[in-house]
Chain A
Amino acid sequence: MEGFLLTGLVLPWVTALLLVFWPRSLDRFSPFIAILGAGVTALSVSVGLSQFHATPLIPLAFPAGSWALDGLTGMFMLLTAWVHLLVTLFSWRYLPHAQAEEGSERRDASLYALVQVFAGSMLAMVASGNLIQLYLFWEMTSITSFLLIGYWHAQPEAREGAVRSLVMTTAGAVAMLVGFLGLGAIAGTLSLPELLASRHSWQASAALPVLTALILIGALAKSAQVPFSGWLPGAMTAPTPVSAFLHSATLIAAGVYLLARFFPMLHMAPTWSAILVPAGVIGGVLAGIMALRQKEIKALLAYSTISQYAFIFLAFGLGTVVGAQAAVYAFFVHAFIKAGLFLVAGAVTFLTDEKRFEALGGLASSHRVLAILATILAFSLGGLPIFGGFYYKEELLHAAYEQQAWLLLASLLGGGMLTFLYMLRFLTAIFWGRAQRGGRLGTEAKLPFSMLAPVGVLAGGAMVTGIFPNWMNVWVLNPAMASVIQAPADFAVGLEVGGVFLLSLGVLALGGGIWALGTRGRIPRGWMARLPKRFNFGGAAGLRLYDALSERFLDLHGGNLRNYLRWELMAILGLIVVCWWGMSWGPGRSEDFDLALALMLGVCLMAALATIWLRYHVLAVIALTISGYALAVIFALMEAPDVALAQVLVETLATFSIVMALRQSRQVHPERTKILTAGRDDWGRWAISLSVGGAVGMLAYEIGRSQPADSAGALYASQGYALNGMADLVTAILADFRALDTAVEILVFACAAFAVMGLFPRRHDE
């Protein structure tokens, strides 16, 4: 069985690789590769999961990485894999049309490859067995979603939306990482199974509330919750099937996964409820109102997603068993209803080339099946009885009712009414009324079966859930809930607060129906127009701050070399001062006097001092060169010929380029032959120069004088050859003993090289 799971975890990456190198001439076959990859992934995940119903996180013995599995992982893997398959199937016919509509020349294969990588990272994230690996795949989903949201990067909105989502989710993820590391520090392990098993021993720690808050920031940012919700509406620039995938079961579901995974460990921390409950109430109600105000289909669905997830967060925030179970149930049902609704939006755009409600209408007369499926999905999300969403609303209400939290109950009911209203608007504006003319395909166009079928499957799921609300409990939901509450779960949906809810729904349906018939889903302009168009909940201010800070940093690169030098020197000084604090010098050592060495050092020193008094550039350069060559001789005397050779070459080239630069500047500014020295009253420069010079000098002296008491050097020197068979100790240290340091070092180096290339893009004609 583990073989199947391994296949499911690896296959998306393999498919993505295949798609990346897929020849351009065969681009029209790329959807089939993607569908095949997604299909086999979904099947192997399902088969592989069939035996994992146990509560504890079971570590898996895969060769690489750290993996662990339980019911919660299973639920997320199933949702991801199957929604991925449906979305890929939907994209097959949708994408060529959308590409043409956007005037994009990007290959379909590139989108499929990105979606596969995204699915792969999501599957790997929920199956990760330790926090660092979880964080890595978490960031990988952020990066791939950034690329997916900005897929049509010719549009400025797509680029802005992509950057916005990346900045917000990764900023949250940094907070989360700090929380993870703190958790590792107080618990002594980063492995998830061990953290869960030992949770009672570290839950009393005083740091827990702070760490909980940090981890929750990561979850809120990822799930686009208040106050980080600003990025989600902008993310709607992604191709619609991608939105269906990212915003139902995967990307923003990662936040729910985090809450569910950490619920047993953190829910007793005071900050857990203090953060989640207000965020849930505010976000749920406000985003619900905002959804009513939107003019485009996907924008309405985006705000609806924020609102529904807010209520799921709220249920987790209650910190009770009932709340957690309700949240898991609501998440699961919402995921496939919302995926279906996004696909309906995609189908409508495919048929009419329209995204705006005001230009749509009357599709029901020409596309009856789509209208029926859309109605099922919309009523499900709206929470009407016998439709899928009814019981999840019910369960959420039950969770608040059980706590006697009347304010929460009221906000949930209010949110439910808003949901019903905006879903009515969604339906009436698209499918009712008079048919609108226009669109490339017009209302006569047929919807391909490959696009209708995924919507049908999801709507069918919503319908079955409405009639048999417990049908997935044994296989999927009970194991998932058991791992959230860390106790055997025997969940069954019932009508605990049914009376109140049914009555309010009845009134709502009647009122809503009358309103919808009267206005055809249009919002009366007067009272709604006063609301701002977008709620960023502080997100916009955060982004402005980020922009302003970036500007300040760019100002540092103004081209003023003195400025650069000043910052560099101050940074060096700061580093030396900080290091000095933590340093303990070993005993001093004495060396025999070496006349040649002393002579060369003297030359070095004299030449360096001479630069202070020399008034002409050229003379100063020559003095520096003398100092550098003397240093090369010192290296040679110390039996390091390779370093000496490098020093000679560096010195020659540096002198050469400075002289060339001086020659150039002489042509531009013939009057500037003398060095501009700092005036005697320029105390700032004197202070920086003297303190940096003094600090570096002292450091060099201390390093040369003292001998570390216990150094690894002795071990390396005595054991080096026996351990790695290398006679050259420097190489042994660089490439073997401390190879990881070296690897990270040169990766940093590569990043710097890429940064330089990015900052100064080459011209295309080269």
Chain B
Amino acid sequence: MNNLLVRFVACLVLAITWIIAWQEILYAGTLPGEGFTASVLMLLGVILQYVVLGYEEASRRIPPRVFRLGLIAGIALLLALLSLPMLFGKPLLTAFKLPLGFDTLSSTTLFDMAIFLVVCGGMLAAFTNLREPRS
């Protein structure tokens, strides 16, 4: 698969999926798509890298530990979002606005980000892990 064109397309697709994934998360509240779709897109973009470049080169460009870190960061973010409102006496998962000055950014944006990190990170971590199981 050492075709220059295919490699170029794979990189292009990765860049596009990256942008679209962010767009889906940030505009989740107003446009179609949210964390799940974003993670599926991103997942496919990254897997395309692995298919085209092969495991060795792809894992040099995007080290698999990024996926594991993403998974763990996603779980931590999710648990924080679950428990933070409780510390202020609100029910679990109460949504709140982020004090950033944007009306559209709220805790649901973070929630979508957690979904993205867990689904995408988890899938890719499992996928890269499967490559060479211990005999």
Write the residues of chain A forming the contact surface with B, with a CB cutoff of 8 angstroms.
63-65, 640-643, 645-646, 649-650, 653, 656-657, 724-728, 730-732, 734-736, 739-740, 742-743, 746-747, 749-750, 752-754, 756-757, 760-763, 766
Q: Which residue of B lies closest to A645 (CB)?
A: B41
Complex Cα distance A388/B88, Å?
A: 47
The reply to whether A653 and B30 contact each other, CB–CB distance below 8 Å, is: no
Cβ of B53 < 8 Å from any Cβ of A?
Answer: no
Residue among B51, B118, B123 making CB contact with A657, cutoff 8 Å: B51
Contacts of B33 in A (CB 8 A): 642, 728, 731
The reply to whether B129 and A735 contact each other, CB–CB distance below 8 Å, is: no
B117 to chain A, nearest CB (A): 9
Complex Cα distance A184/B41, Å?
A: 44
In the complex with contacts A64-B86, A653-B48, A730-B34, A736-B108 CB distance below 8 A: yes
In the complex with contacts A734-B36, A750-B74, A750-B118, A760-B129 CB distance below 8 A: yes
Complex Cα distance A420/B121, Å?
A: 60
A284 to chain B, nearest CB (A): 44
The reply to whether A740 and B122 contact each other, CB–CB distance below 8 Å, is: no
Contacts of B126 in A (CB 8 A): 752-753, 756-757
The reply to whether B44 and A731 contact each other, CB–CB distance below 8 Å, is: no
Complex Cα distance A752/B64, Å?
A: 17
Q: Which residue of A lies closest to B114 (CB)?
A: A746
The reply to whether B93 and A746 contact each other, CB–CB distance below 8 Å, is: no
Complex Cα distance A756/B24, Å?
A: 28
Contacts of A640 in B (CB 8 A): 32
Contacting residues of chain B (17-61) with chain A, CB-CB under 8 angstroms: 24, 28-37, 40-41, 44, 47-48, 51
The reply to whether A753 and B29 contact each other, CB–CB distance below 8 Å, is: no
Residue among B51, B71, B112 making CB contact with A753, cutoff 8 Å: B71
How many B residues, CB 8 Å from partner? 52
Complex Cα distance A724/B30, Å?
A: 11
Q: Is the interface of A mostly helix, strand, loop or mixed?
A: helix
16 contacts between A and B (CB under 8 A): A643-B37, A645-B41, A649-B48, A724-B95, A725-B103, A726-B108, A727-B30, A728-B33, A739-B108, A742-B111, A746-B114, A747-B118, A749-B119, A752-B122, A760-B134, A766-B64
The reply to whether B28 and A646 contact each other, CB–CB distance below 8 Å, is: no
- Nearest 7 A-B pairs (CB), nearest first? A753-B122, A756-B126, A760-B133, A726-B29, A649-B44, A735-B108, A731-B34
Residue among A649, A657, A746 making CB contact with B115, cutoff 8 Å: A746
The reply to whether A731 and B125 contact each other, CB–CB distance below 8 Å, is: no
The reply to whether A747 and B75 contact each other, CB–CB distance below 8 Å, is: yes
Residue among A743, A749, A762 making CB contact with B122, cutoff 8 Å: A749
Write the residues of chain B forming the contact surface with A, with a CB cutoff of 8 angstroms.
24, 28-37, 40-41, 44, 47-48, 51, 64, 68, 71, 74-75, 78, 81-83, 86-89, 92-93, 95, 103, 106, 108, 111-112, 114-115, 118-119, 121-123, 125-126, 129-130, 132-134
Contacts of B134 in A (CB 8 A): 760-763
Complex Cα distance A732/B32, Å?
A: 11
The reply to whether B92 and A642 contact each other, CB–CB distance below 8 Å, is: no
The reply to whether B122 and A728 contact each other, CB–CB distance below 8 Å, is: no
A371 to chain B, nearest CB (A): 51
Contacts of A750 in B (CB 8 A): 71, 74-75, 118, 122
Q: Which residue of A lies closest to B91 (CB)?
A: A740
Most buried by B among A650, A730, A762: A762
In the complex with contacts A730-B32, A743-B78, A747-B78, A762-B95 CB distance below 8 A: no
The reply to whether B37 and A736 contact each other, CB–CB distance below 8 Å, is: no
Contacts of A643 in B (CB 8 A): 37
The reply to whether A641 and B75 contact each other, CB–CB distance below 8 Å, is: no
Contacts of B29 in A (CB 8 A): 725-728, 731-732
Q: Which residue of B lies closest to A657 (CB)?
A: B51
Contacts of A650 in B (CB 8 A): 40, 44
Further contacts, 16 of them, CB under 8 A, given A753-B125, A766-B64: A64-B83, A642-B33, A653-B44, A656-B51, A724-B95, A725-B103, A727-B29, A728-B33, A735-B108, A740-B93, A742-B111, A746-B119, A749-B119, A750-B74, A750-B118, A753-B71
The reply to whether B130 and A756 contact each other, CB–CB distance below 8 Å, is: yes
Contacts of A653 in B (CB 8 A): 44, 47-48, 51
Contacts of B121 in A (CB 8 A): 753
Q: Which residue of B lies closest to A730 (CB)?
A: B34
Complex Cα distance A725/B103, Å?
A: 9
In the complex with contacts A726-B30, A750-B71, A756-B130, A731-B87 CB distance below 8 A: no
Most buried by B among A656, A728, A731: A731
A566 to chain B, nearest CB (A): 22
Q: Which residue of B lies closest to A62 (CB)?
A: B89
B34 to chain A, nearest CB (A): 4
Q: Which residue of B lies closest to A732 (CB)?
A: B29
A526 to chain B, nearest CB (A): 51
Contacts of A766 in B (CB 8 A): 64, 132
Contacts of A725 in B (CB 8 A): 29, 103, 106
Complex Cα distance A323/B97, Å?
A: 57
